[in-house]
């Protein structure tokens, strides 16, 4: 704690403040004697009585004890676990305020980390504000001999028990079925006491179909009985037992045992029929996926040769391939590349090469040999490897279409590309309503003075 803050701010002391801005997690920001105070679950314009719970060198964190002046944008959260569970941060805001926060968050990140002061388009709204997610991964716990499905509490590894998750398309029937199966078959949560227990319950849903994956260290017996319970609710049920012997943050292990069904779930969209297994990445919000992919497609011309880097299960690569000359997809997860290859084959797409490998190694080679003039980047939260960006700067493709799920790493990467590219468009998409996360599309065009 700095001497300055120590003198100004008192821990456990009450203050009355006005919320003037938002932080990157959607928490309100107030100032006390010039010191930034983060106030979770508050809204800009509100006057609140707070108590300081953490005081650091450059900021403090507070808890609301009383709302003195309530924002008209405040609404009742739908979820009974809201604020105990770390999954959502914005359920206390109406949807218009959530979209406003996300647009400003992208704008602030690009200004702070990339020096970008140009326009940001409005954040594209999701058709569903709740029940939009097509995938969940819930940790399984046990207390007093009772197994439960949970979510992590904010910034912790402790679990809060949940019966459902309101941002999921369908969680309650799957959780109910799992708990009934576990209780009837003496199945426990993984622990030192029960090393053969369940670690995670993962599911992917699609209206009539469900793909459920039970993650454990050792094979779980009688899982077909879980399938029988689920079959009462879903037309088609796929069940996998995934074996994860590692003790780290990665949810899935390398080995899958298919208990029932195909081990993957079928989707029918974009005039494509395709299957996705539990290891492959798929955008979680179907409506926003359509809006985002259509915006990307709008940037592609019939003569283009495109590299789709970080291509997941290959859905975007395939729809781009239907519109242009050739596409090279690059993806590191082998199961996702298997899905992408089947998708191309089953839908008669012949101008798509799916490459399994690290973009940092594969993209520099492909861009040299392919004459690609457009590159789509859709990396994980940590953004692009420096070698990917260096190869783009060297090869100078005409256009870069950057899809990002983290505005700060997007800004860092745009700053690196700024010498050669100008930003033609920045548009946020609300892939994750009720949470502080946001997806952003950035369109970069090669500067006139750069030659390739």
Ligand X SMILES: C[S@@+](CC[C@H](N)C(=O)[O-])C[C@H]1O[C@@H](n2cnc3c(N)ncnc32)[C@H](O)[C@@H]1O
Specify the stretch interacting with ligand X by CB under 6 A; choose among 119-127, 229-237, 375-383, 391-399.
Answer: 375-383
Specify the stretch interacting with ligand X by CB under 6 A; choose among 25-33, 310-318, 366-374, 407-415.
Answer: 310-318
Spatial CA neighbour of 297 closest among 269, 317, 276: 317
Catalytically active residues are: 405
Of 267 and 281, nearer to ligand X (C-beta) is: 281
Which residue in 32, 336, 389, 414 binds ligand X (CB under 6 A)? 336
| Number of chain positions touching ligand X (CB under 6 A) | 20
Which residues 177-196 are close enough to bind ligand X by CB under 6 A? none
Angle at which helix 359-370 crosses helix 386-395, to 10 degrees, equals: 10
Which residue in 1, 160, 297, 333 binds ligand X (CB under 6 A)? 333
What would the DSSP string read from start to end of 391-414?
HHHHH--SEEEEEES-HHHHHHHH
Token pair, residue 268, equals: 């029918």
Specify the stretch interacting with ligand X by CB under 6 A; choose among 199-207, 245-253, 304-312, 342-350.
Answer: 304-312
Spatial CA neighbour of 109 closest among 448, 433, 415, 429: 415
Partnered with residue 213 across adjacent β-strands are 202, 240
**What are φ and ψ of residue 39, in 5° steps?**
-125, 90
> Smallest gap, in angstroms, from Cβ of residue 301 to ligand X?
20
212 is an interface residue for ligand X by CB under 6 A: no
Of 315 and 392, nearer to ligand X (C-beta) is: 315
**What are φ and ψ of residue 313, in 5° steps?**
-80, 5
Which residue in 281, 402, 429, 432 binds ligand X (CB under 6 A)? 281
Residue of closest CB approach to ligand X: 312
272 is an interface residue for ligand X by CB under 6 A: no
Of 223 and 327, nearer to ligand X (C-beta) is: 327
Residue 445, CB-side half-sphere exposure with 13 Å CA sphere: 6
Alpha carbons 322 and 146: distance in angstroms, whole number: 52
356 is an interface residue for ligand X by CB under 6 A: no
274 is an interface residue for ligand X by CB under 6 A: no
Give the three-class secondary structure for 21. Answer: strand
From start to end of 26-114, where are the E strands?
28-32, 35-39, 47-55, 59-69
316 is an interface residue for ligand X by CB under 6 A: yes
Of 82 and 432, nearer to ligand X (C-beta) is: 432
331 is an interface residue for ligand X by CB under 6 A: yes
Specify the stretch interacting with ligand X by CB under 6 A; choose among 70-78, 82-90, 260-268, 357-365.
Answer: 357-365
300 is an interface residue for ligand X by CB under 6 A: no
Alpha carbons 104 and 93: distance in angstroms, whole number: 15
> Smallest gap, in angstroms, from Cβ of residue 296 to ligand X?
9
299 is an interface residue for ligand X by CB under 6 A: no
Burial label for 297, CB within 10 Å (0-12, 13-18, 19+), is: middle
> Smallest gap, in angstroms, from Cβ of residue 159 to ligand X?
26
310 is an interface residue for ligand X by CB under 6 A: yes
> Smallest gap, in angstroms, from Cβ of residue 6 to ligand X?
42
318 is an interface residue for ligand X by CB under 6 A: no
332 is an interface residue for ligand X by CB under 6 A: yes
- Which residue matches tokens 């305020």? 97
Which residue in 134, 264, 283, 391 binds ligand X (CB under 6 A)? 283
Partnered with residue 28 across adjacent β-strands are 22, 39
- The mark string for 380-409 relative to ligand X (x by CB under 6 A, - otherwise) is x------------------------x----
Alpha carbons 218 and 241: distance in angstroms, whole number: 9
CA 142-144-149 angle, to 5 degrees, is: 25
Sheet holding 198-206, edge to edge: 159-161, 146-152, 135-143, 198-206, 209-216, 236-243, 255-260
> Smallest gap, in angstroms, from Cβ of residue 320 to ligand X?
10
> Smallest gap, in angstroms, from Cβ of residue 281 to ligand X?
3
Give the three-class secondary structure for 142. Answer: strand
Partnered with residue 82 across adjacent β-strands are 85
312 is an interface residue for ligand X by CB under 6 A: yes
282 is an interface residue for ligand X by CB under 6 A: yes
Which residue in 58, 163, 358, 422 binds ligand X (CB under 6 A)? 358
Spatial CA neighbour of 67 closest among 45, 84, 83, 86: 45
Specify the stretch interacting with ligand X by CB under 6 A; choose among 9-17, 189-197, 281-289, 415-423.
Answer: 281-289
Helices (H) and strands (E) in the chain, counts: 10, 22
Specify the stretch interacting with ligand X by CB under 6 A; choose among 39-47, 139-147, 227-235, 355-363.
Answer: 355-363
Which residues lie near ligand X (CB under 6 A)? 281-283, 310-312, 315-316, 330-333, 336, 358-360, 378-380, 405
């Amino acid at each position: 704690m700095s001497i300055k803050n120590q003198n100004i701010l008192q821990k456990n002391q009450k203050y009355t403040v006005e919320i003037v801005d938002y932080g990157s997690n959607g928490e309100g920001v107030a100032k006390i004697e010039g010191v930034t105070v983060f106030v979770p679950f508050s809204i800009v314009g509100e006057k609140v009585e707070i108590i300081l719970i953490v005081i650091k060198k450059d900021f403090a964190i507070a808890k609301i004890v009383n709302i003195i002046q309530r924002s008209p944008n405040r609404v009742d959260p739908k979820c009974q676990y809201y604020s105990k569970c770390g999954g959502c941060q914005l359920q206390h805001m109406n949807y218009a305020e959530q979209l406003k926060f996300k647009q400003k968050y992208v704008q602030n990140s690009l200004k702070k980390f990339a020096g970008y002061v140009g326009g940001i388009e409005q954040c594209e709204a999701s058709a569903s504000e709740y029940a939009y997610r097509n995938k969940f991964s819930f940790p399984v716990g046990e207390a007093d001999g009772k197994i439960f499905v949970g979510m992590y509490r904010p910034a912790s590894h402790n679990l809060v028990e949940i019966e459902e998750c309101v941002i999921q398309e369908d969680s309650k029937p799957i959780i109910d079925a799992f708990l009934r199966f576990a209780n009837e078959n003496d199945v426990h949560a993984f622990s030192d006491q029960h090393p053969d227990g369940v670690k995670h319950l993962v599911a992917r849903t699609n209206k009539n179909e469900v793909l459920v994956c039970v993650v454990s260290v050792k094979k779980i017996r009688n899982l077909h009985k879980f399938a029988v319970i689920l079959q009462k609710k879903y037309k088609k049920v796929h069940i996998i037992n995934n074996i994860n012997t590692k003790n780290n943050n990665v949810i899935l292990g390398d080995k899958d045992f298919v208990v029932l069904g195909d081990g993957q779930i079928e989707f029918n969209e974009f005039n494509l029929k395709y299957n996705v297994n539990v290891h492959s990445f798929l955008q979680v919000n179907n409506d926003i996926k359509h809006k985002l992919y259509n915006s990307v497609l709008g940037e592609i011309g019939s003569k283009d040769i495109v590299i789709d880097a970080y291509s997941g299960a290959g859905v975007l690569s395939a729809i781009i391939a239907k519109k242009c000359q050739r596409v090279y997809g690059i993806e590191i997860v082998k199961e996702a590349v298997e899905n992408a290859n089947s998708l191309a084959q089953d839908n008669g797409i012949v101008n798509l090469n799916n490459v399994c490998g690290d973009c940092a190694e594969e993209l520099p080679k492909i861009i040299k040999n392919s004459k690609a003039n457009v590159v789509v980047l859709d990396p994980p939260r940590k953004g692009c490897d420096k070698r990917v960006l260096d190869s783009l700067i060297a090869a100078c493709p005409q256009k870069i279409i950057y899809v990002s799920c983290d505005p700060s790493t997007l800004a860092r990467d745009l700053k690196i590309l700024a010498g050669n590219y100008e930003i033609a468009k920045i548009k946020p998409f609300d892939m994750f309503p009720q949470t502080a996360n946001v997806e952003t599309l950035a369109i970069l065009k090669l500067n006139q003075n750069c030659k390739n």
